[in-house]
Chain A
Amino acid sequence: MIKVTCRKLRKTFVQGETQIKGLDDVSLSIEKGEFVCLSGPSGSGKTTLLNALGGLHTPDEGTIEIDGDVISQMGASELADLRLRRIGFVFQSYNLIPVLSAQENVEFVMQIQGVDSQERDQRAKAILKEVGLEGMETRLPAELSGGQQQRVAVARALVSEPALILADEPTANLDSATAENLMQLLENLNRKHQVTLVLATHDTRIMGFARRQIRMQDGKIISDEISSGSQHALRGGDPLTASHQEQDF
């Protein structure tokens, strides 16, 4: 079942008198449970595509469908609901709420969703344990390392069981070892929870963790391929079934 479909997306930004093409005729299809890496140099359009998929940017042209719902035509309120219930975000700078503890940050989205406190507590504790932060539930973000904060952000994105997780440069502020740990975590979670994961990065160290790699340049997709073997696969794991070739719509 196709979960995410983009057709002929265009997005232009105006900076002074210059027009910058954020997305230029981008078409893409992502299946449920896929782990996709968007890569390319700065300004290639990967973050713009990620934001468009998350309903944070409305494309000038083209359509985006998630589970058959055309999100590119939704209003601000519907998009907020969509983000709340079906999309999880992991940001480059973790973006945790500094006055809330690790567990409260993880529970935040569930609270907004109206999940009852007992269930919230159970799910938050379980996911924090899963990302390796057991015993750190009451710590504030300032009391956690960068890697730990990003794990909390991953737990926050995952805990409400969204259909799609969008991660924008999640390892940019992490050292190599922590970045690799995080990517292994994301890969494991992707396999275990069958959550669709789209990650934007220009960090070559982590691109190999994704089974599908889409390269962008000047707002266009210049390649879309399934890697011959992800780092996970090289380590002997079971890659999910993925049947992508470079596609045109």
Chain B
Amino acid sequence: MNIELRLAWRNLWRHKKRTWITVAAMVFSNVLLVLMLSLQLGSYQMMIDNALGLFSGQIQIQHQDYLENPKFRDDIVHPQGLVNTLKQATDLETISSRGVTFALVSSASRSYGVQVVGVEPQSEPLVSTIPGLIIEGRYLQASSSKQNEDPVAEVVLGKVLARNLKVGLGDELTLLGSGRDGSFAAGVATVVGIFNSSLPALDRTMIQLPLDYFQHLFASENRASYVVLNTPTPLELTQLNATIAELLAQQRPDESLQVRDWDALQPGIRQAIQADLSSAAFMYGVLILLVAFSVMNTQLMSVLERTREFGTMMALGLKPWRLVKLIFLETTMMATLGMLLGAILGAMLTQYYHVVGFYYPGMEEMAAKFNLPERFYPDVTWFATFIGPIFVMIASIIAAIYPALKIRKLDPISAMRAV
């Protein structure tokens, strides 16, 4: 073994207790970093998946002005054609179109202004979890394929809205609004299901009805407000986005259609993540700084107590840079040990919570806000396991600069006289 490696390793264990205390500080902070990052990243992914999976989807194709100013008239013509084209181009089946407008909905005793969403009952379950969240009755059914038959006038609504309207299954609701052509739109639909999304905004303000009935009611035949798309591989979202944009430019160049990913559709999610990350990053920074100071203290003591030895080595002909290298080797070895132990223990702890779930008092509030479960089940990932410990390692090595610089200034004679 190289003499410097051998010296560094043995020097490290000269004061076993001191080295272990420093390594323990690294391990403790690394375990904390691994677990917290895993929880954080896991919760972000859940937040994204739940928020997008519930209703908005990962990608929407809509009129270019629709996002800023969602007008009923800024819609897509022949949405079914677009859906079919997209299915072919992307090999995805998880695509559906929706019509969206606002209307006054009245029960026998009350009226509320609500968001009316026309959905394709057969494909909506592929892009939204709401069909699976029906707590009473059933979800919408696909209309008969017979040509001259009127579309089925049925509706599902959120449980809060149902309570407010004082309606239950089988009750009728009157819808009053404006058609796409400015005409007066009015219809009566039967409540067939009540959903509980756990998201108060949706449960209080949304009703869903079959897209063909929607088109019939609001005079928007063969039109939809947007097409929604989900992919099982969110990492390929950017590529998918580009593919669809290219497709739209080729096939529908005159319709001013735009692809929007979840970041554009729900900027609140990214903002919430960024705000949370910023405050967490500050805390992580403080933690890493404390570990770095602990390493600096250890190495400084180690250098000071070996001044005489360093003087001897210099007198024997060792150049100062080799001693500096020795200090960095020692620190790197210590930091690597701290990193590996911390990463392994952190991953084990994360795996434990992956199995039993992580919970702390008050978590239900945040969970409800983002439609998350009350327990987190963090995943062990390479990124969350190593990014924190690698930062601790780098900070520790940087912390060795000051003790190492002290060596460079040593004079062999005065160093050998040191007590």
Contact = CB atoms under 8 A, between A and B. Distances in A.
A111 interface: yes
A154 to B, nearest CB: 14
B81 interface: no
Nearest to B1: A117
Contacts of A112: 3, 316-318, 322
**Chain B CB within 10 A, most for which of A54, A82, A87, A95:** A95
B318 A80 contact: yes
Interface in B288-319: 308-309, 312-319
B309 A97 contact: yes
A99 B10 contact: yes
Contact of B317 (A91, A97, A98, A109): A109
Nearest to A88: B316
Contacts of B14: 98-99
A20 interface: no
B309 A108 contact: no
A99 B7 contact: yes
Interface string B11-37: 100100000000000000000000000
Contacts of A109: 316-317
Given A51-B413, A91-B416, A98-B309, A84 B10 contact: no
B378 interface: no
A95 B416 contact: yes
Given A51-B413, A84-B318, A112-B322, 12 more contacts: A54-B315, A77-B319, A81-B317, A82-B317, A83-B315, A91-B315, A91-B416, A95-B309, A99-B7, A99-B11, A104-B6, A109-B316
B312 A97 contact: yes
Interface in A51-109: 51, 54, 56-57, 77, 80-85, 87, 89, 91, 95, 97-100, 104, 107-109
Measured as residues with beta carbon below 8 angstroms from the partner, the interface class of chain A is 20 to 34
Nearest to B312: A95
Interface in A133-152: none
A100 B314 contact: no
What is the interface of chain B mostly: helix, strand, loop, or mixed? helix
Tell which of B6, B316, B318 has the most Cβ of chain A within 10 Å.
Answer: B316
B314 A80 contact: yes
Contacts, number: 58
A98 B308 CA distance: 11
Interface string B378-419: 000000000000000000000000000000000011001000
B317 A83 contact: yes
Interface of B: 3, 6-7, 10-11, 14, 308-309, 312-319, 322, 412-413, 416
A54 B312 CA distance: 13
A108 B322 CA distance: 13
Ranked 9 nearest A-B pairs via Cβ: A84-B317, A99-B10, A83-B317, A95-B312, A111-B3, A80-B319, A56-B413, A80-B317, A56-B412
Interface in A110-126: 111-112
A247 B253 CA distance: 105
A54 B413 CA distance: 11
Interface of A: 51, 54, 56-57, 77, 80-85, 87, 89, 91, 95, 97-100, 104, 107-109, 111-112, 156
A116 to B, nearest CB: 13
A77 B314 CA distance: 10
Contacts of B322: 112
Contact of A89 (B6, B308, B315, B319): B315
B316 A89 contact: yes
Contacts of B319: 77, 80
A90 to B, nearest CB: 11
Nearest to B4: A111
A107 B316 CA distance: 12
Nearest to B3: A111
A111 B317 CA distance: 11
A84 B316 contact: yes
B11 A108 contact: no
Nearest to A96: B312
Nearest to B14: A99
B323 to A, nearest CB: 11
Given A98-B309, A100-B7, A108 B413 contact: no
A100 B308 CA distance: 15
Contacts of B313: 97
A112 B323 CA distance: 12
A82 B316 CA distance: 9
Contacts of B318: 80, 84, 112
B23 to A, nearest CB: 18
A56 B317 contact: no
Nearest to A54: B315
Contacts of B314: 80
A76 to B, nearest CB: 8
